[in-house]
Amino acid sequence: MQALVEAPDRTEADRALDAGRHPAALLEFAGVRPGMKVAELMAGTGYTTEFLVRAVGPTGKVYGENPKVVLERFAEKRWQERLARPVNQGVVRVDRELDSPFPPEVNNLDVVVSNIIYHDTTWLNVDRAKMNAAVFQALKPGGVYLVLDSSAKPGTGIADTETLHRIDEKLVRDEVEAAGFKLQEESNVWRNPQDTRDWNSSPGAAGERRGTSDRFALKFVKPG
């Protein structure tokens, strides 16, 4: 997977994010392999989406989903530019809301990735039970739902989602498991015990601390 990170056709803007994002570790943890059908929820401008399409190769397919407001507010231009690059020809653009992120024909997926966006479902007023149920439906039996996000202090629920761009890990676990998923594994790659969890971890506000927030990474599996 490190070879994908070192690919010569990657942009400098993307490379600047690598140290905080640990993309090779994400691909390994999710188990993304050539030929897979993979989707990303709220792909934004597509940093992770591009890694996914590189990992699945020419025989795979990646669905990059974005809600309307995300495209309108910040993502549309850079998302279009990314999709126009040859390396991303295996990406299918999906403009849908997170409550129902995939059209009916998108099914039997191997992996769905939610990378540092679960907390955004609050300001987007997403019905998270519907979202998680839709992911469950779209995955094949044994398929992986990977949720990675910045940690809020334990017991805070969704209280810090808009102010600090963080969410309580236990709340995420409970909500995803309520949809029928089983927690298979967690990773400490993105953990930072020194994080006080009291500062805004959003890219625009974090400044030099961007990419250093304590983040939980949870691999859920659809039983079957």
Q: What is the pLDDT of residues 37-51, one digit of tens each?
A: 999 999 999 999 999
Residue 185: strand pairing partners: 219
* Structure confidence at residue 8 (pLDDT): 95
Q: What is the model's pLDDT at position 179?
A: 98
Q: Is the pTM of this model over 0.95?
A: yes
pLDDT attached to residue 7: 96
- pLDDT at site 61: 97
* pLDDT value of residue 1: 83
- For the stretch 82-110, pLDDT in tens is 999 999 999 999 999 999 999 999 999 99
Q: What is the DSSP string of 71-125?
A: IIIIIHHHHHHHHTSGGGTTEEEEE--TTS-S-TT--SEEEEEEES-GGGGTTTT
pLDDT at 203: 85
Q: Residue 76: which residues within 8 A CB-CB, separation 6 or more? A: none
User: pLDDT tens string for the chain (224 positions)?
Assistant: 889 999 999 999 999 999 999 999 999 999 999 999 999 999 999 999 999 999 999 999 999 999 999 999 999 999 999 999 999 999 999 999 999 999 999 999 999 999 999 999 999 999 999 999 999 999 999 999 999 999 999 999 999 999 999 999 999 999 999 999 999 999 999 999 999 999 999 988 988 899 999 999 999 999 98
Rg of the Cα trace of the chain? Answer: 16
Closest CA to 219 of 145, 119, 133: 145
